[in-house]
A = this chain, B = another copy of it.
């Protein structure tokens, strides 16, 4: 069964696509143009009532929220492709902890930067310079904690690549690329080595080009 993935051009959806690539799961993509408001069409809201991407359809099973989808496939096909959950329940707990850190501490700041630096003009509002400054300061503090963590283990949840690392890929690519804030990664030795490692994975090289 080929998995249908809605909204492939957005960072949250790439979180799902890179997971499917790591697991060797075949997918097809269906574009959704957020700028044109296609996510507010009744047919789309039937799939995803909040009007967000991504959504997947796998036979008659529909699921949304990128971090829920990646957990679903990592568990459903645990022994296929890269194991992204750790070997024990304790390792999975650690994966969950760092997935939550990504969602609660890292993402809100990098999302503000993405929205206000990259997309404000296209979406028709003025970038909030104060919010940009504050978000960058908060993200720097989060990265200081990552630096300490990554001085003690190769990846966030331990010495294995997991959903926790993978979940950082799409928005961090915006940060080091179009946002021109690569210095935030490069000024931290262990974060920099971690970024080189995770962003050079074949799965990400494939998905980041979509």
**Residues of chain A whose beta carbon lies under 8 Å from any beta carbon of chain B:** 49-50, 61, 63-65, 67-69, 71-72, 75-76, 89-90, 92-94, 96-97, 99-101, 103-105, 142, 145, 148-149
Contact B145 A64 (CB under 8 A): no
Instruction: Give the contacting residue for A104; candidates B65, B72, B99; CB below 8 A.
Output: B65
Instruction: Give the contacting residue for A67; candidates B94, B100, B149; CB below 8 A.
Output: B100
Residue of B nearest to A97 (CB): B68
Contact B72 A89 (CB under 8 A): yes
Check A103/B101 contact, CB under 8 A, given A75-B92, A90-B61. no
> Nearest-CB distance from A76 to chain B (Å)?
5
Copies of this chain present in the complex amount to 2
Instruction: Give the contacting residue for A96; candidates B72, B97, B104; CB below 8 A.
Output: B72
What CA separation (Å) do A150 and B142 show in the bound complex? 37
Query: What B residues does A101 contact at CB under 8 A?
Result: 50, 65
> Nearest-CB distance from A111 to chain B (Å)?
10
> Other CB < 8 Å A-B pairs besides A61-B93, A71-B96, 20 of them?
A49-B145, A49-B148, A50-B101, A50-B142, A63-B94, A63-B97, A65-B96, A65-B97, A65-B100, A65-B104, A67-B100, A68-B93, A68-B97, A68-B100, A72-B89, A72-B92, A75-B89, A75-B92, A100-B103, A103-B104
Query: What B residues does A96 contact at CB under 8 A?
Result: 65, 67-68, 71-72
What CA separation (Å) do A90 and B94 show in the bound complex? 23
What CA separation (Å) do A63 and B105 show in the bound complex? 16
